[in-house]
Amino acid sequence: MFDAQTIKSFKSQKTPFYYYDLGLLRRTLDEIKNHGLSKGYHVHFAIKANFNLPILEEVRKAGLGIDCVSGNEIKRAVEAGFTGDQLAFAGVGKTDEEIQVGLDHDIFSFNCESLQELEILNGLAQKSGKTANVSIRLNPNVEAKTHRYITTGLNENKFGITADRLPKLFDMLPGLKNISLTGIHFHIGSQITDLQPFTDLCNRVNEMQDLFEENGVRLDHINVGGGYGIDYEKVDENPIPDFKSFFEVFDRNLELREGQQVHFELGRSIVGQCGSLISKVLYIKEGATTNFAVVDAGMTELIRPALYQANHRVDVLTSDKPHKTYDVVGPICETSDTFQKGIQLPEIERGDLVAIRSAGAYGEVMSSAYNLRDRVKAVYSK
Ligand code: LLP
C-alpha cells in the first residue's frame, strides 16, 4: 500500500485528490517495453484513460504513441511533446473541425468508423491539399466478456463498420483520391481479463486480412485496439497486468504479412493501477441497517462505481483499530453515490483518510462539476 511517509504527506493536502504513483507507472511501461515494443509492436496509450501531463511525459519517454478520440486530445498530446506521426484518431463522431486538427498535424492514422466519414475526410483532405492515412475500423462481432456498457465489438454496438459494408467500401476506394487506406482497426471492449476474446479477435483479423487482399488492398498495419484489464481485487499483490501473456496471444495467433506492423491502444492496463483517489471521512452515521462512512469524494470525482457497478477497493490509511461494517458513500445527492457497501474496515472516525484504489484510468478524466463541485486535484509521486 502506501508507506508512512506518503501517508504523512497526504495529511497536508486538501482532499479529495488523485494520487499517482509514477514509479509504478514506469515499472508498468518497462513491462510493455520488454514484452511488446522489443518485438516491434507499436503501443499507443489511450489518452482518454488519463490526460494529465506528468503521466503523458512518462508515456512519451517510454516510446509509446497516443490514441486520441477528440481534437482536444490531439492538441493535448502535441502539448505533451508527441508528434503527429505518433497519433491515431478514433471515434464515431469526429466533427469537421476535429478532422482538420488531425490533418493539420499529419497524424499517423484516422481510424474511420463509417463510410460517410471516409467521404467527409476525403473532401477535407482534398481542401487541405493532403492525403490522409486511414485505418478502417471494423466491427469484428467478437464477444469481449466484459460489462455490457464497455463492450464495443458486437454487431449491435455503434462502433466501426460491419463486414456486410465491405463491398461498398471496396467500390468507393478508387474514388477517394485523398485517402490512403493503410490499415484496419479493431477494438472489442475494455476491462477484458480473459485472454480468449483476444484470440477470437486475432482469428477475425486474419479472415479480414484475406478479404482485403482478395479485393486488392495490401495493409501496412493492423491495429488491434486496447481493452486489456487490470486486477481490481489484488491491488497491491498483483498491480502490473501480465503483459507477457497478453502480447504472446498476438505472437501466436496473428498471421502477419511481410513488413506489416501491429499497433495496440492500451489505456487502463497502463495507468489504472497507478492512481488512487484520496478522500477524508467527513461523518460517521449509524443507519438503521449499517454504518455510513460519508467521505468527501463522490461520484463527481469517480463515477465508475455508480455507472458500471465497478468495485474499487477502499483502504483506510489512518486507523488500525478492530474492524466494523461500513457503507462508504460520497456527499452527492444520488443513492448511486456509493463506493462500497457492507465492507469490513478498521473502525474510522471523522478526519481519517481513505484511499479508493485502482482509479488511475477513467477516474479523474470522467470527473464532473455536478452539484457545482470543485475540479479534483492531482498529486504525483517522484
Ligand atoms: N481504443 C479505443 C478505440 C477505445 O475506444 C478504447 C476505450 C481504448 C482503445 C482503450 O481501452 P482500454 O485499454 O483502456 O480498455 N470508461 C470506461 C471505459 C471506456 C473505454 C472506452 N474505450 C470505464 O471506466 O471502464
All structural domains of the chain, each given as residue ranges with its CATH number in brackets, are: 22-272 (3.20.20.10), 273-380 (2.40.37.10)
- pLDDT tens for 275-289 read 999 999 999 999 888
Rounded CA-CA distance 29/333 in Å is: 39
| pLDDT for the residue numbered 154 | 67
Dihedral, 162, 163, 164, 169 alpha carbons, nearest 10: 90
Q: Is 117 annotated as a binding residue?
A: no
Answer whether 49 contacts ligand 1 (Cβ < 6 A).
yes
Task: Evaluate whether 107 touches 83 at the Cβ level (below 8 Å).
Answer: no
Q: How many C-beta neighbours within 10 Å does residue 168 have? A: 11
Q: What confidence category does residue 203 fall into, taking pLDDT thresholds of 50, 70 and 90?
A: very high
pLDDT over 80 at 158, yes or no = no
Q: Give me ligand 1 centre to Cα 49, in Å.
A: 7
| C-alpha to C-alpha distance for 49 and 73, rounded to whole angstroms | 11
308 among annotated binding-site residues: yes
Question: Is the ipTM value over 0.95, yes or no?
Answer: yes
pTM to 2 decimal places? 0.96
Annotated binding residue 267: yes
pLDDT at 323: 96
- Is 362 close to ligand 1, i.e. is its CB under 6 Å away? yes
Q: Is the CB of 191 under 6 A from ligand 1?
A: yes
- Which atom of ligand 1 is least distant from the CA of 152? 5
326 annotated as a binding-site residue:
no
Instruction: Look at residues 144, 140, 87, 93 and name the one whose alpha carbon lies nearest to residue 114.
Output: 93
Q: Can you list the pairs that 206-209 forms with residues at least 24 positions away whose Cβ atoms lie under 8 Å?
A: 206/253, 206/254, 206/255, 208/138, 208/140, 208/163, 208/184, 209/184, 209/255, 209/257
Band (340; pLDDT cuts 50, 70, 90): very high
CA 142 / ligand 1 centre spacing (Å):
16
Cis (ω within 30 of 0) for the bond into 16? yes
The identity of residue 18, as a single letter, is Y
The answer to whether 275 and 50 have CB atoms below 8 angstroms apart is yes
Assess contact for 64 and 83: CB atoms under 8 A. no
pLDDT at position 150, please?
65
**Is residue 146 scored above 80 in pLDDT?**
no
How far CA 277 is from CA of 81, 302, 351, 360, in Å, comes to: 27, 8, 16, 8
Taking CA atoms, 114 is separated from 93, 108, 119, 165, 243, in Å, by 9, 19, 9, 9, 32
Model confidence at 157, pLDDT cuts 50, 70, 90, reads confident
Q: Catalytic residue positions?
A: 333
3-state SS record for the chain: CCCHHHHHHHHCCCCCEEEECHHHHHHHHHHHHHHCHHHCCEEEEEHHHCCCHHHHHHHHHCCCEEEECCHHHHHHHHHCCCCHHHEEECCCCCCHHHHHHHHHCCCCEEEECCHHHHHHHHHHHHHCCCCEEEEEEECCCCCCCCCHHHECCCCCCCCCECHHHHHHHHHHHHHCCCEEEEEEECCCECCECCCHHHHHHHHHHHHHHHHHHHCCCCCCEEECCCCECCCCCCCCCCCCCCHHHHHHHHHHHCCCCCCCEEEEEECHHHHHHHEEEEEEEEEEEECCCCEEEEECCCCCCCCHHHHHCCCCCEEECCCCCCEEEEEEECCCCCCCCEEEEEEEEECCCCCCEEEECCCCCCCHHHCCCHHHCCCCEEEECC
Which segment of 69-73, 138-142, 211-215, 368-372 scores lowest on mean pLDDT? Answer: 138-142
Structure confidence at residue 143 (pLDDT) = 74
Q: What is the pLDDT of residue 160?
A: 84
Q: What pLDDT does residue 306 have?
A: 97
Distance from the alpha carbon of residue 147 to the mean position of ligand 1, in angstroms: 12
Whether pLDDT at 140 is above 90: no
User: Cell digits for 209?
Assistant: 486480412
Q: Please report the pLDDT score of residue 166 as a whole number.
A: 92
Q: Which of 372, 369, 322, 363 is nearest to 17 (CA)?
A: 363
Q: What angle in degrees, to the nearest 10, is found between the helix axes of 71-79 and 53-61? A: 70
Cα 17 to averaged position of ligand 1 atoms, centre (Å): 23
